[in-house]
Amino acid sequence: MTQLSRLAEENVQRWLSDPSIDEETKQELQGLQEQTQELEDRFYKDLEFGTGGLRGVIGAGSNRMNRYTVGKATQGFARYILEQHGQAEGTPSVVIAHDSRHFSPEFALEAALVLAGNGITAKLFPSLRSTPQLSFSVRHLGATGGIVVTASHNPPEYNGYKVYNAEGGQLVPDQAEKVIGYIQEVDSFASVKRLEQSEAEAKGMLVWLGEADDEAFTDTVAGTSVNRELIASKLGKDFNIVYTPLHGTGNIPVRSVLDKVGFTNVHVVAEQEQPDAEFSTVKSPNPEEREAFTLAMKLGKEVGADILVGTDPDCDRMGAVVLNDAGEYEVLSGNQSGAIMIHYLLSQLKEQGKLPDNGAVIKTIVTSEMGAAIAQHYGAEVFNTLTGFKYIGEKMTEFEQTRKYTYLFGYEESYGYLAGSYARDKDAVLASLLICEAGAYYKAQGKTLYNVLQELYEQFGFFREKLESRTLKGKDGLAQIQAKMTDWRENPPQTVAGASVAEVLDYSKGLNGLPQENVLKYMLEDGSWFCLRPSGTEPKIKVYFAVRGSSLNDAEERIQKLAAEVMARVDA
């Protein structure tokens, strides 16, 4: 039988002997004494607090999501909040939201009680709320920070914990490093300060948020509509929408915003309407995957829907499905949806005389250049950031402070979008509204969004993108991912798919003023590129591809050839 590593053995014994850890947890661990591989994975390290916070499998152990790892992380975050609040008047506060996952309410309450124990007012939503609403509420309520308990679209056994700064954005690396340092100084679970719920409520350190906070969010999102009167007077009645929240937090806010703007023909996938921590109707609650829309497509055909819209469990990612020329439903990629929304938004602002001279669009380094070409056509400046909406949010705050640029739109290829400066994280509520509004507007002109996309290809170029990923779990998987990145970094290819490698961009060195990150991007002489990046939230290595062809068929052939050659080496 495989033996535990020394570190794992020490961590197991530390947990079993710690008087602050409850007996039920200890019994769970004692029941695993013969399962050394499982114990090794649970204890070979502490669950890492990355720039996005915590994310991991739920269960007992230092490398798992549980009330103890959440409490320890919150103790470190509390110290950061107190440091940020400084000598400002009043008590610092943190807004907390959670999604529909297993133990999300319990983890959110635990975080609130630890904050209260540290003299920080916790403002907690009593039931599930979306991540973008958390970002908005931090700003709207003037809080010092925020926490959302979610694992986004990860499998059901996962949960996570993301922290936000006073601007409503996820912590960027220099901020996260401070929190990580404070967490590492928490030497035992007994040193985590915590109030009981009754005491926290009695002292006013635990405040429950409610309907007024919900209304403020949905009213603000509805206010981003650029054709609200037109939608309300006619177009909203004629546009047929099928929506699925995929068992997550989007059901109420998405429907509320669509209704406020004037979309009255909305059908919700009944089987996926209610919160379900097991996400029992899908393999993965991810609107990036066609399978997640199986039930929506069935309903769409029954009701003759013009568009199908789906949001992930914490409602920060939106996927759209549109009718193609053959009358079949086709899933739009994140890049395609982004291009359509940029075109619609900027063209309408221009038509209405509201497009600023200093407008800016922000995208990530792995996002298609098609959206950039469209934005530049309308006179907007385009900025690139590392992957992660926190970097887009950071840029937004910079624009707000310097007033050099006016933020118009930000997006990632991974289905994250934001128009409007009310939040600092991607918002699938807003994206659902904007893609439906675009669909209704163009339907009145006799076009589907698929038709609009083909027109954009004809005007701006036949762009094609692809994403491949490989899941490599556990300690061994992490080592394999690191080895693959090292191999590509030390042995870069000279040619790929018949094209010479013109430039290798190694972002671990901090290129173009961006923070250092373990990402490699290979620029080919024909304008194509591919990029290798370990996921920050899942045990995966992701490989992004992009080409620009002379036609859609040419682009498709080129990207398939490029992806096949690169992935053959990745898999070797």
Active-site residue list = 152
Q: Are 144 and 80 in contact (CB under 8 A)?
A: no
Give the 3-state secondary structure of residue 285: coil
Instruction: Report the interhelical angle of 428-443 vs 251-261 (nearest 10°).
Output: 40
C-alpha distances in Å from residue 39, one per residue of 32, 35, 44, 190: 7, 6, 8, 23
Environment class of 404 (CB within 10 Å of its CB; exposed 0-12, middle 13-18, buried 19+): exposed
C-alpha distances in Å from residue 488, one per residue of 228, 485, 492, 532, 550: 50, 5, 5, 9, 30
The total number of residues written for the chain in this structure: 572
Q: What angle do CA 220, 225, 228 make, to 5 degrees?
A: 115
Can you tell me the distance from the alpha carbon of 320 to that of 329, in angstroms, rounded to the nearest whole number? 10
Can you tell me the distance from the alpha carbon of 37 to that of 39, in angstroms, rounded to the nearest whole number? 5
Nearest residue to 418 (alpha-carbon basis) of 132, 2, 56: 132
DSSP state of 96: E
What is the C-alpha R_g of the chain? 24
Give the 3-state secondary structure of residue 400: helix
DSSP state of 523: E
Residue whose tokens read 């109707």: 281
Give the 3-state secondary structure of residue 412: strand
Can you tell me the distance from the alpha carbon of 507 to that of 281, in angstroms, rounded to the nearest whole number? 39
C-alpha distances in Å from residue 416, one per residue of 200, 315, 364, 514, 516: 36, 10, 11, 20, 22
Q: Are 458 and 373 in contact (CB under 8 A)?
A: no
Q: Measure CA 264 to chain center.
A: 28
